Amino acid sequence: MIWQLDFLILFFAIICALAAINIKDLLSAVIILGAFSFFMCLLWAEMGAVDVAFTEASVAAAVSTILFVGAVIKTTRRSRD
Amino acid sequence: MLTQIYKNLIVQTVCRIIIPFIQIYALYVIAHGHYSPGGGFQGGVILAAALALIFLAYGQDAAVRRLNRHQAVILCAIGVFIYAGIGLLCLLAGGNFLDYSRLAPILGVTIPRARSLGILGVEIGVGLAVMSAMYSIIIDVAGKSTIAAPRDFVQLPKTKRDNVGPAA
């Protein structure tokens, strides 16, 4: 566990989370959410929770991204608020 | 569009090469779930991701030809049955639910070996159930709808909001 690396990955994860909230294009928000999940996966793996990191990589970064892309295509791509 | 076949030679060739390796890796994750990171859930999700890759690269018809909705539901039930069956077998042998040490006389092996084999069977059941459930969720969310959408028979008045973005 290296705390500098922890803070660096956490910084990138927070940037991705803020970008995913604020962006208007929902497809871009889905892709940025996938990047957020990837940074969280790196953070879990770096802190020693390899099983949680594995689940995060397979579920959050892969399957939920596909489901969100499907939902965006079924509805609309532009946020209205 | 997820429902259209997106004919691209590079995408389809890369998917055809990479899908067997994804499935082998998923089987590795399931089979080594009891003494390394991973297990039934993660392996099942990776198997479902391989099926979703077929869905994305070759279209819904090619994916449904390999595993249709009814087969997916039946596989899900078989996975739950394997899990519950191993637990009930332990219960019938006189132990608690999922107490694998009671399987040792049935399998004819030592108690630690019986625990390892029992949890392997549970991982296989969980992997089957998770794979088919994830696959049917992906088909239902991203695929062509088999029932008519409400939009088809209720004509909503067209407003200015409908022209905002490049909708589906």
ipTM: 0.81
CB contact under 8 A, B2 and A69: yes
Query: Which of the two residues, B55 and B162, has the higher pLDDT score?
Result: B55
Residues 6+ apart with CB under 8 A from A6: A43, A46, A47
How many Å apart are CA B101 and CA B99, to the nearest integer?
A: 6
- Is residue B146's pLDDT more than 90? no
Residue type, position B24, single letter: I
Residues 6+ apart with CB under 8 A from B123: B30, B31, B33, B34, B39, B40, B43
* Chain A touched by B42 (CB under 8 Å): yes
Indicate the range of A14-18, A74-78, B105-109 predicted with least confidence.
A74-78
Q: What is the pLDDT of residue B91?
A: 92
Q: What is the pLDDT of residue B159?
A: 56
Average pLDDT of the residues in B106-133 = 92
The HSE-up count of residue B168 (CA atoms within 13 Å, CB side) is: 18
Residues 6+ apart with CB under 8 A from B53: B15, B18, B19, B22
- Is residue B122's pLDDT more than 70? yes
Query: For chain A, which residues make up each domain, given as ranges?
Result: 3-74
Query: Which of the two residues, A1 and B45, has the higher pLDDT score?
Result: B45
Q: What is the DSSP letter of A78?
A: B
Provide the number of CB pairs (under 8 Å) joining chain A to chain B: 61
Closest CB to B42 among A55, A67, A73: A55
> pLDDT of A27-73, one tens digit each?
999 999 999 999 999 999 999 999 999 999 989 888 888 888 888 88
Closest CB to A74 among B37, B165, B168: B168
Closest CB to B165 among A67, A69, A76: A76
Rounded to the nearest angstrom, the minimum Cα separation between B122 and chain A is: 18
> Measured between beta carbons, which residues in chain A are less than 8 angstroms from residue B142?
66-67, 69-70, 73
pLDDT band at B160 (very low <50, low <70, confident <90, very high): low
* Chain A touched by B108 (CB under 8 Å): no
Average pLDDT of the residues in B149-161 = 52
Query: For chain B, which residues make up each domain, given as ranges?
Result: 9-143
Q: Is the torsion defined by CA of A72, A75, A78, B3 positive or negative?
A: positive
Rounded to the nearest angstrom, the minimum Cα separation between A12 and chain B is: 25
* Chain A touched by B138 (CB under 8 Å): yes
A25 pairs with which residues across the strands?
Answer: A78
Contact B136, B46 (CB under 8 A): no
Residues of A with CB under 8 A from a CB of B: 50-51, 53-55, 58-59, 62-63, 66-67, 69-71, 73-78, 80
Q: What is the pLDDT of residue A60?
A: 87
